[in-house]
C-alpha cells in the first residue's frame, strides 16, 4: 500500500490495525502476516535498542535510522512515533523532514514537555496548547507531500482532565492535521465521547497498551465506536521479552535448545522468512 492509498484507506469505516514494530525483522514478519500498516513505537525502540524505559532517551537520529532500515525492507505504510518532535517548532520541522525522507507514511507528534515519557506512565507534563499548535503548523509546513500524514497526540487528560484534552484535540484539528490521538483514555465512556465528538470529522487513533490505563478492546470493537486506527505498540516487545526469558532460562538450565525446539524457527525456516534464497539469486545477476 502506498502513502496515497493509506490516506484513502483511513476514510473507510473498517479500522486499520497496526501492530508495534521496532526493527526491520519485526516489520517484515508483521508484513508477511498481512497487516495494512505498521507502528514504529518509540517506546519499543527504547526497550530494544537501549534496554531502557520510554522516558525521552531516544533521539531523532536513532528513530530515523531505524525507520529507514524498515522502509528499505517492507512496503507496508509505517506510522512513526516522533515523540515531541525532539524539541521546539524548528526541531520538529527537522524531524518531519528526516522522517519523511526515511519513508514515513504518518508522523505522530505529541504535546508533552521534554523529556517526555510513556503515555501510560504517571508524572507527565504538557506544553501550552498554543505552543503545540505552533509545532503542528511547523510540521505541516515542513512536509514535502500532503500524503505524508501528520498525527497530533494530546497527553493532557492525565494533566488537565478529559474536557481539556478534548479542547486541545479540537485546537489541533483546527491546525489542519490528518488524524488525532487522545492518549490514555480511561473508560469506554470516554472513548465513546471522544469518537462522538471527532470521528465524523477526522480519523481517531486508539492505543491499546497491555496493563496500561485504557481498557483493552479488539480492533473490531473500537471500529464500531468510531476509531479508524488501532495500535498495539508495545505488545511486540513484551511478547519477545517474554519469549526470551523462557528461551534463556531453558538454555541455562538444560544447556541445549532441544526443549525449545517447537517454539523456534530452525536455520532454513528463518532463511525462508528473510528471503535468503531470493537474495542470493539476485546476486547472481551481478556475478
Burial (CB count within 10 angstroms: exposed 0-12, middle 13-18, buried 19+), residue 14: exposed
pLDDT of residue 2: 62
Q: Which three cell numbers stand for residue 272?
A: 525462508
pLDDT of residue 267: 97
Whole-number average pLDDT of the chain: 95
Of 110, 98, 122, 130, nearest in space to 205 by CA: 110
Confirm whether 109 is domain-assigned.
Answer: yes
Instruction: List % helix, strand, coil for the chain (3-state, nearest 5).
Output: 50, 15, 35
Confirm whether 272 is domain-assigned.
Answer: no
Confirm whether 251 is domain-assigned.
Answer: no
**Could you read off the pLDDT of 226-250 as tens digits, one per residue?**
999 999 999 999 999 999 999 999 9
| Region of residue 229 (phi > 0: left; psi between -120 and 50: alpha; otherwise: beta) | beta
What distance lies between CA 75 and its chain's CA centroid?
A: 16
Predicted confidence (pLDDT) at residue 163 exceeds the cutoff of 90: yes
Mean pLDDT calculated for residue range 197-212: 95
pLDDT of residue 129: 98
What distance in Å separates the CA atoms of residue 111 and residue 194, rounded to the nearest whole number?
18
Confirm whether 90 is domain-assigned.
Answer: yes
The confidence band for 212, taking pLDDT boundaries of 50, 70 and 90, is: confident
What distance in Å separates the CA atoms of residue 249 and residue 157, rounded to the nearest whole number?
40
Confirm whether 218 is domain-assigned.
Answer: yes
Confirm whether 259 is domain-assigned.
Answer: no
Confirm whether 76 is domain-assigned.
Answer: yes
Predicted confidence (pLDDT) at residue 266 exceeds the cutoff of 80: yes
Domain count, the chain: 1
Residue 98 sits in a domain of what CATH number? Answer: 3.20.20.60
What distance lies between CA 119 and its chain's CA centroid?
A: 12
- Contacting residues for 59 by C-beta, under 8 A, at least 6 apart: 86
What percent of the chain clears pLDDT 70, i.e. is strictly above it? 98
* Domain of 199, in residue numbers: 3-240
Alpha helices, H only, the chain: 3-9, 24-33, 42-45, 60-73, 89-101, 129-142, 157-160, 162-174, 188-198, 219-225, 235-254, 267-274, 276-284
Confirm whether 106 is domain-assigned.
Answer: yes
Predicted confidence (pLDDT) at residue 116 exceeds the cutoff of 90: no
The confidence band for 122, taking pLDDT boundaries of 50, 70 and 90, is: confident
Contact 237, 219 (CB under 8 A): no
Predicted confidence (pLDDT) at residue 118 exceeds the cutoff of 80: no
Amino acid at each position: 500500500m502506498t502513502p496515497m492509498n493509506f490516506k484513502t484507506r483511513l476514510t473507510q469505516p473498517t479500522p486499520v490495525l497496526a501492530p508495534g514494530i521496532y526493527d526491520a525483522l519485526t516489520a517484515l514478519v508483521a508484513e508477511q502476516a498481512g497487516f495494512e500498516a505498521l507502528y514504529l513505537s518509540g517506546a519499543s525502540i527504547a526497550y530494544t535498542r537501549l534496554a531502557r524505559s520510554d522516558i525521552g532517551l531516544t533521539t531523532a537520529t536513532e528513530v530515523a535510522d531505524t525507520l529507514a532500515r524498515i522502509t528499505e525492507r517492507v512496503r507496508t505504510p509505517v506510522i512513526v512515533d516522533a515523540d515531541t518532535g525532539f524539541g521546539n517548532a524548528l526541531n520538529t520541522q527537522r524531524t518531519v523532514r528526516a522522517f519523511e525522507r526515511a519513508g514515513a507514511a504518518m508522523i505522530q507528534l505529541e504535546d508533552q514537555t521534554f523529556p517526555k515519557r510513556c503515555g501510560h506512565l504517571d508524572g507527565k507534563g504538557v506544553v501550552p496548547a498554543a505552543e503545540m499548535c505552533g509545532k503542528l503548523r511547523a510540521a505541516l509546513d515542513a512536509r514535502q507531500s500532503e500524503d505524508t500524514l501528520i498525527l497530533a497526540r494530546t497527553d493532557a487528560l492525565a494533566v488537565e482532565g478529559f474536557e481539556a484534552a478534548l479542547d486541545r484535540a479540537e485546537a489541533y484539528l483546527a491546525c489542519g492535521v490528518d488524524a488525532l490521538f487522545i492518549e490514555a483514555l480511561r473508560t469506554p465512556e470516554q472513548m465513546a465521547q471522544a469518537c462522538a465528538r471527532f470521528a465524523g470529522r477526522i480519523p481517531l487513533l486508539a492505543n491499546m497498551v497491555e496493563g496500561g490505563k485504557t481498557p483493552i478492546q479488539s480492533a473490531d470493537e473500537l471500529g464500531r465506536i468510531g476509531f479508524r486506527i488501532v495500535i498495539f505498540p508495545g505488545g511486540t516487545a513484551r511478547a519477545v521479552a517474554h519469549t526470551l526469558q523462557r528461551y534463556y532460562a531453558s538454555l541455562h538450565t538444560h544447556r541445549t535448545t532441544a526443549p525449545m525446539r517447537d517454539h523456534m524457527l530452525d536455520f532454513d525456516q528463518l532463511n525462508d522468512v528473510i528471503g535468503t534464497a531470493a537474495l542470493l539469486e539476485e546476486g547472481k545477476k551481478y556475478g
